[in-house]
Amino acid sequence: MQLDDLYRRVIMDHYKKPRNRGTFDADVVTIDLNNPTCGDRISLQLQVNDGIVEAARYTGEGCSISMSSASMMTEAVKGKTLEQALELADRFSAMVKGEDVTFDEYEDIEALSGVCKFPARIKCATLAWNALRKGIEEPI
């Protein structure tokens, strides 16, 4: 078990300097999701126009893995159609389960591939992506 497989520099960079952290003033889709086993929580906001995610922001509390994953996700979905965003979420799930996938759209995400070797942390990594999925599949 190599800790550096998990805590890569790019992850710590997103943790320390989160992208898209905050909320929108405008009326947007908001998804609140908890990880009840550990207490991590995220509030994700999606600004969707004509089926395109124009921007995403989040607030929440959690470990370096859950928060860096949220930071990366909100970067990656910008400008994507809802369908593309869902496909990204699927690909992310596959990656943290150990499948060999790439994220040419936003390579930072690949730094989280090491999570697959830390099964207890997969739920941390997928929290933000599950919020995204919920926001798209169960529009409020």
Partner 1 sequence: MIGRELREQFPILNQEVNGHPLVYLDNAATSQKPRSVIDAVKRYYEWDNSNVHRGVHTLGSRATDAYEGAREKVARFINAKRTEEIVFTRGTTTAINLVASSYGRTVCQEGDEIVLTPMEHHSNLIPWQQVAKATGATLKYIPLQEDGTISLADVEKTITDRTKIVSVMYVSNVLGVVNPVKEIAEIAHRHEAVMVVDGAQSTPHMRIDVQNLDCDFYTLSGHKMCAPTGIGALYGRKELLNTLEPIEFGGEMIDFVDLYESTWKDAPWRFEGGTPIIAGAVGLAAAIDFLEEVGLENIQQHEHQLAGLAIDKLGAIEGLTIYGPHQGRVGLVTFNLDDIHPHDVATVLDAKGIAVRAGHHCCQPLMRWLNVSSTARASFYLYNTEEDIDRLAQALRETKEYFSDAIG
Give contact residues for partner 1 (rule: CB under 8 A): 1-3, 6-7, 9, 12, 15-16, 37-41, 61-65, 118, 120-121, 124
Spatial distance between the Cα atoms of 85 and 43, rounded to a whole number of angstroms? 17
Cα–Cα dist 40/83, whole Å: 27
Angstrom distance (rounded) from CA 24 to CA 15: 21
Dist. CA 88–CA 119, nearest whole Å: 21
**Rounded to the nearest 10 degrees, how much is the dihedral formed by the CA atoms of 30, 135, 79, 87?**
160
CB of 25 to partner 1, least distance (A): 26
Please report where in the chains the tokens 């996938």 appear, as a residue: 101
- The smaller minimum CB distance to partner 1, of residues 67 and 85, is found at 67
Q: Which is nearer to partner 1, 28 or 63 (CB)?
A: 63
Residue 41 vs 78, nearer CB to partner 1 = 41
**In the complex, minimum distance from the CB of residue 23 to partner 1, in angstroms, rounded to a whole number:** 18
Nearer to partner 1, 69 or 88 (CB): 69
Neighbours of 1 (CB within 10 A): 6
Q: Smallest gap, in angstroms, from Cβ of residue 13 to partner 1?
A: 9
> Smallest distance from the beta carbon of 97 to partner 1, in angstroms?
18
